[in-house]
Amino acid sequence: MKKTRAIIYLIVVILLLLAVFYFISGSHSTRNSKSAAQNQRTKKITGNSSSKGSRRNQTSLTAVSINIDGRDFSAHLNNSSASRQLIAMLPYTVRVQGLNSGLEEHTADLQKPLSTSGMPAGAKPHPNDIGYWSPQPRIVLYWGDVGFYDGIHILGSFDNANAKNYIHSLKRPYKITITRK
């Protein structure tokens, strides 16, 4: 009888420990996934892996106007090394060429490469993002989802959700001029 009680007691203790472990690990992974999702949103707009900035923190963003084939759109560039270097060159005009990458983007060659120091090696841009393709120095305007690529660096995004539709509708070549607001 004593052995049976001891075994039952041991089974109950083991089950309680398993339940506690399950709940602790479950809430821990939920917390980590929420933190990871927040980190991804922060990476998108700030262009780095730091969680210090966010889309709401406008102090680290620079307001710009981007004239696309005669139509002005407001946008914000992040505080990444590549964005700071581009901002220092403003106003800046580039020609979007007729290259067709097969992706949902339009690209324009830059005269010189931008520094990507301190930036992630790659990114997954979203529609309305403004990016930099470092393997071949290019500004990239995203009108659709292209997936993650090493060499893509997010510089910022358009404020107007309709910018992506306008960019998608344009026939290349056309010019874009970026100016600081």
Which pLDDT band holds residue 65 (cuts at 50, 70, 90)?
very high
* pLDDT tens per residue across span 24-38: 655 444 334 333 433
Determine the pLDDT at residue 136: 94
Determine the pLDDT at residue 159: 96
Could you give the domains of the chain? 1-181 (2.40.100.20)
Determine the pLDDT at residue 10: 76
Determine the pLDDT at residue 38: 38
Which pLDDT band holds residue 180 (cuts at 50, 70, 90)?
very high
Determine the pLDDT at residue 12: 77
Segment 75-86 mean pLDDT: 96
Determine the pLDDT at residue 100: 59
Question: Which of 96, 74, 92, 70 shows the shortest CA–CA distance to 82?
Answer: 92
- pTM of the complete model: 0.68
What does 8-42 look like in DSSP terms, one character per residue?
A: HHHHHHHHHHHHHHHHHHHHHHHHHHHHHHHHHHH
Cβ atoms within 10 Å, residue 37: 10
Determine the pLDDT at residue 171: 85
What's the CA gap between 179 and 63, in Å, rounded?
A: 9
* pLDDT tens per residue across span 92-112: 999 998 555 667 899 999 999
Q: Answer whether residue 50 shows pLDDT above 60.
A: no
